[in-house]
Chain A
Amino acid sequence: MSLIAITEVKKRFGDNEVLKGISIDIAPGEVVAIIGRSGSGKSTLLRCINGLETIDEGSIVVAGAQFLPDEVHLKALRLKVGMIFQQFNLFPHLTAGGNVMLSQMVVKKVPKKDAEAVARKMLDRVGLAHKFDALPDELSGGQQQRVAIARALAMQPMALLCDEITSALDPELVAEVLAVVKELAAEGMTLVMVTHEMRFARDVCSRVVFMHQGRVHEIGAPEDVFANPRTPELRQFLGVQ
């Protein structure tokens, strides 16, 4: 049974139809990379899965929780899928530890002591146990993004959505973030990532989705998609002739 079932999803911004009927089923433990040009709708699709954008048609079901745009359903959905953003979006007024603790205490009503224990564990998992008391602006971009990953993990989601999580990082910091993601993948976490890191997509992902003009243009195992692109659009995108 699929963990995330996306069926015939359509999304319009005014007259502009960004998603023109997307259907993807993602099994538990799968690592799916979504690639494509900017404007192809890949980030929008990811944001729809988390309910940050509403959908106009179709359905998104995550582990039995249907996407419906009211606060109760949204919350249920968001407890199942965590999201990591390009711009980290850490809460600047809280320490790294505070960032990881906040939603546990506020949303799940976990007592402070337990939340702190979880936060320390999660920060340790991303290699930042020693930065528990650091404020976000005292951390490098790579470290901030790893705190953001720890923050999402602390809610114990069934899947993580990663929206170009290395695109705002200096090249030298990309590796440390990808290493954490790779580890999560190895531990069996379901990951859906919009990414420009083709090499990473090839090495780590179990499936690659190529989106073009609001549609799933090609989908398949990375070996196939990267080695034998079938459509001219994907060939052009990958820069192979």
Chain B
Amino acid sequence: MTEFSFWDILRNLLLAARWTVVLSLVSFIGGGIVGAALLFLRIGGRRGIQLLSRGYIQLFQGTPLLMQLFLAFFGLGLFGIDVPAWLAACVALVLWTAAFLAEIWRGCVESIAKGQWEASASLGMGYLQQMRYVILPQALKVAVPPTVGFSVQVVKGTALTSIIGFVELSKAGSIVTNATFQPFTVYGLVALIYFALCWPLSKSSQLLERKLNVAHRNH
């Protein structure tokens, strides 16, 4: 039987961790773009579109990410569309992230005083101009800490994609365990790598919160 050194285990886990990072980035950036679009529709679209956007957000917030992954992976398969695991993982995570980011950002936009909307409207600005020049520059300050904080959830959320067979950190953990029979060492390392990814994010969220609050002297 082959012996695996500690280094072998760690090396394989780190290689797989790359995919956790890539998947997190794709989800976060893709989710940010889709989430921003949802935000604009949720706040300023026609009534029907607002409801649609709200329904989308509630649907994705109200169902487990795991189910969304299953549906993206197996659901499309039922229609004869062969979806590779990486694609299903990306799509599900992007859509899931978008729903949460849209809702976080909506809260930030709504925290801006109504008078700002009225003043900019009375100066003749349209909805997109109000958002671009008046509301978002202020909302952005409020939004940075919770957004960075949420990115931790995204990183941890990628672990679920192991279930549909995407080989990221968690999946690599179970593969390596099956080969080495050292579950405690392997999963301990897996946890440490996740922590190394997430801790700087939560820490920077805290720091940003403090820093931006100082800049926000009025409140």
Residue contact B116 to A89, C-beta cutoff 8 Å: yes
Interface residues of B in 99-118 (CB under 8 A from A): 113, 115-116, 118
Residue contact A151 to B123, C-beta cutoff 8 Å: yes
Residue contact A103 to B126, C-beta cutoff 8 Å: no
B15 CB → nearest A CB, Å: 45
Chain B residues within an 8 Å CB radius of A89: 113, 115-116, 118-119
Residue contact B129 to A106, C-beta cutoff 8 Å: yes
Q: Contacts A93-B137, A93-B138, A106-B133 given: A79-B124 contact, CB under 8 Å?
A: yes
Q: Contacts A92-B138, A93-B138, A137-B218 given: A85-B118 contact, CB under 8 Å?
A: yes
Among candidates B115, B133, B217, residue contacting A85 with C-beta atoms closer than 8 Å: B115
- The number of chain A residues with a CB under 8 A from chain B is 27
Interface string of A69-109 (1 = CB under 8 A from B): 00100110011001101010111110000000011001110
Return the chain B residue nearest A78 by Cβ: B124
Among candidates B113, B123, B133, residue contacting A155 with C-beta atoms closer than 8 Å: B123
Return the chain B residue nearest A71 by Cβ: B126
Interface check A143, CB cutoff 8 A: no
A84 CB → nearest B CB, Å: 9
Chain B residues within an 8 Å CB radius of A75: 124, 126
Give the CA-CA distance A235 to B37 in the complex, in Å: 56
Interface check B121, CB cutoff 8 A: yes
Interface check B14, CB cutoff 8 A: no
B203 CB → nearest A CB, Å: 27
Interface check A50, CB cutoff 8 A: yes
B206 CB → nearest A CB, Å: 23
Q: Chain A residues in contact with chain B, CB under 8 A?
A: 50-52, 71, 74-75, 78-79, 82-83, 85, 87, 89-93, 102-103, 106-108, 137, 148, 151-152, 155
Q: A79-B124, A103-B124, A137-B217 are in contact. List 15 more A-B contacts (CB 8 A).
A: A51-B121, A71-B127, A78-B122, A82-B122, A83-B118, A85-B118, A85-B119, A90-B119, A91-B120, A93-B138, A102-B123, A103-B120, A103-B125, A137-B218, A155-B123
